A and B are shown apart, each in its own frame.
Chain A
Amino acid sequence: MTFLSCRFAIFCFKVASRRAAPSRSSSKRSSSSLSISWLSSPSRGTSVRKDDAPVSTGITASVPYVSRKGVSPVVECGVPMPAELREELMPKHVAVIMDGNRRWAKMRGLPPSEGHVALVPPLRMVVKLCLCWGIKVLTVFAFSTENLLRPKLEVDFLFSHFERTANSEIEAIMRERIKITVIGDTSKLPKSLQKTITIIEEKTKDNSRLHLIMAINYGGKYDIVQACKSVAKKVQDGIIHLEDINENIVEKELKTNCTELPYPDLLIRTSGELRVSNFLLWQLAYTEFFFHKKLWPDFGKDEFVEALKSFQQRQRRYGFLS
C-alpha cells in the first residue's frame, strides 16, 4: 500500500509538471536520420562450471539493428509497444509451442481440422508483433516427429494446410522481409510440401527483418542424433579429428544453427501443459519458460504481452554465480 501511495504521489507530480511544460515527444520525431547500431545479444551466456570442467565462454551473437533516430520502429509498424514493456529488455529469440488446437476444436464440437485452421491467425499476430517490437528470431513448433503417429487423415490435412498457407502468405512474407527456414526431417513430408518449402526458403533467404523458423516433423532427439551424424561425416571426411569432438562441435551441427541466435531467450507454451515435448532439447538450457493456460487459437496480443512482461521481470543468470 505504501508503494501505491508513492505511485499516486508520482502521478500527481506528473500531472503538475505536464501542466508546466509542453510535450517534447513531437520534436523527437521530426528528424529521421538512419543509424545502425550493433547490439550484443547473449543468446547463450557464460557458463561457470566448477565441478570438473573448465570455465568456458558462451557465444555472444551480434545482430545488426537498424533504427531511425527519433522514429521508433514501433511507429512505422503501427503497433505501439505497451508501456509496461521495455525495448532494451525484449528477447531476441522467442520459441513457441502452439498447443491446444485440437482441444479448442473439440470444445466447440468441431473436427480437429478446424483447430488446425485456427492456429494461423494467432501465429500471424505473433509474427506481426515480433516484427514491430524488435524480436529477431521466432521459432514455432508446428509438427513434431511424434505427431506422425496421429490418424493419417489428420496428418494429410495438416500437411496440405501448411502448403496452402505457405503459398497464400508468400507475398506478405516477402513484403515484410521475413526469412523462412524449416527445420526437421523434411524427407518424410509429401513431395509437394518439400518443394514448397524449398521454394520459400530460397525466395526468402536474403530477408533479414525477422527469421521465422518452422519446426516441422522436428524432434529434439532427432536434432541431436542428426548433429552427431553430421559430425561423424566430418570425421570421415577428415575435416575434424575424433579427439576434437566436444559439445561445441555437436552444437554447430544442430538444425537451429541456421540462425546467429540459436538459443531461445523465451519459450512460450500454450494450453497449460508444462512440458517441452521433445522441442529444442539441447537449445533450452537457459531459456525462460512461460506456460499459459489458454489454448493456442485463443492466444492473443494480451497473452503475448504477458509473456514478454514476465520475461522482462526475470533475472537471467545464464549459470553465473552472482
Chain B
Amino acid sequence: MIGYLGLQLLWYFMQIIVSVWYHISIVGNMFESYFISYEVLNKYKSLHIGKLRYLAVVIESEEAHQTSKVIKLLQWLDSVGVKNVCLYDMNGVLKKSKDTIFQIMKNAKSIEEVNEDVTHHAPDHMTLEFVSYVDGKEAVAKAANLIFVENFKRHDIGGELDHQILLESHLNQALQIVGCKGPEPDLLLVYGPVRSHLGFPPWRIRYTEIVHMGSLNFMRYGSLIKAIYNFTKVRHNYGT
C-alpha cells in the first residue's frame, strides 16, 4: 500500500514537473517573440524574403470579422517585405471586408488588377487576393466542366468527348479562366483554433509549408517573423 501511494505520489510530482516545464516554455516563447519584435535576437534581423514569393493566410471565419487585426497583420507583412498575400477564410468574410482593407492599405492592389505574374512584379505595392471555399473544390468542378464543354464543341454535336485530353496543365489553364489566378503559396499561415487549412483551394497547396499560428486575437509580430524565418531556412526536395 505504501509502495502504491509512493508510486502515485511520484507520478503526480512528474506531472507537476511537466506542467511547470510547459508553462516555462510558453513564457519563453512569449519572451522570444518580444525579443524578435525589438530586434534583440540577431538572427531574425535580416530575413531573406526573396524565397517567400507568395504567402497565404488562412483565418478562421469567426476571427476573420476582426478587420482591424487583419489589416494590422497585412501592415506587418508589408513592413517585412512580403508583397504578395492571399487571404482565405471559408465563408467569404474577408471578401466582404475587401473594400475596407483597400481603403486603409492604400499601396495594395487586387490580384485582378495586376496583369503580370504576381511573383515577378516589382515590389512597389502589395498584391492581395481574397479567396473563400467556393474558389477551391467548386472551382475545380467548374474548370473541369469548362474543359468538357470546350471538348464537346470541338467534336461537334453528338461527338465523342475525349476524356483523355484532360491533363494537369489543362486544369491549370481552366482554373485561370474561371477566376482562380493565384499561384501556389510557398507558405500558409493558419490563424484560428484549428490546425487545419479549412478548405483552402486543394489544387494550390501541393508543396506549401503550413504553419499554425494560433488565434488571431493573440497574434504577435515576433511569431510572424519567426515563422517566416523558419520557412526561409527550409530545404525542399519536392519528393526527389
Contacts and interface: CB of A to CB of B under 8 A. Distances in A.
Nearest to B8: A11
A287 B92 CA distance: 20
B100 interface: no
Contacts of B149: 242
Interface stretch (A22-30, A164-172, A191-199, A269-277): A269-277
Interface string B203-216: 10111111110000
B49 interface: no
Interface in A130-169: 144-147, 149-150
A126 B209 CA distance: 25
Interface stretch (A48-56, A182-190, A297-305): A48-56
Interface stretch (A73-81, A105-113, A217-225): A217-225
A144 B207 CA distance: 13
A222 B171 CA distance: 11
Interface stretch (A59-67, A203-211, A227-235): A227-235
A284 to B, nearest CB: 7
Nearest to A248: B141
A276 B195 CA distance: 13
B202 interface: yes
Interface string B48-67: 00000000000011100000
A153 to B, nearest CB: 14
Interface string A289-321: 110000000000000000000000011110101
Contact of A11 (B12, B91, B133, B138): B12
A286 B196 contact: yes
Interface in A241-270: 242, 245-247, 249-251
A29 B231 CA distance: 52
B51 to A, nearest CB: 15
B198 interface: yes
B30 interface: no
B171 A317 contact: no
B194 A288 contact: yes
B92 A232 contact: no
Contacts of A147: 239-240
A13 interface: no
A282 to B, nearest CB: 5
A3 B195 CA distance: 26
**Residue from the set A146, A236, A242, A274 with the largest chain B CB neighbour count within 10 Å:** A274
Contacts of A278: 206-207, 239
A49 B137 contact: no
Interface residues of A, number: 60
B95 interface: yes
B140 interface: yes
A245 B141 contact: yes
Given A7-B12, A278-B239, A321-B91, A49 B134 contact: yes
Contacts of B166: 225, 228-229, 232
A275 B208 contact: yes
B206 A322 contact: no
A225 B91 CA distance: 26
Contacts of A228: 140, 144, 147, 166, 171
Nearest to B151: A232
B194 A317 contact: yes
A278 B238 CA distance: 9
B132 interface: yes
B138 A53 contact: yes
B134 A52 contact: yes
Nearest to B159: A236
A235 B166 CA distance: 14
Nearest to A15: B5
A203 B167 CA distance: 33
A233 B145 CA distance: 13
B202 A287 contact: no
Nearest to A225: B168
Interface string B188-199: 000001111111
Nearest first, the 8 A-B pairs at minimum CB distance are A51-B92, A146-B239, A232-B163, A281-B202, A247-B137, A285-B199, A228-B144, A236-B161
Given A281-B202, A319-B133, 5 more contacts: A52-B92, A228-B147, A231-B144, A275-B209, A289-B210
6 contacts: A50-B91, A228-B140, A228-B144, A246-B138, A286-B198, A319-B61
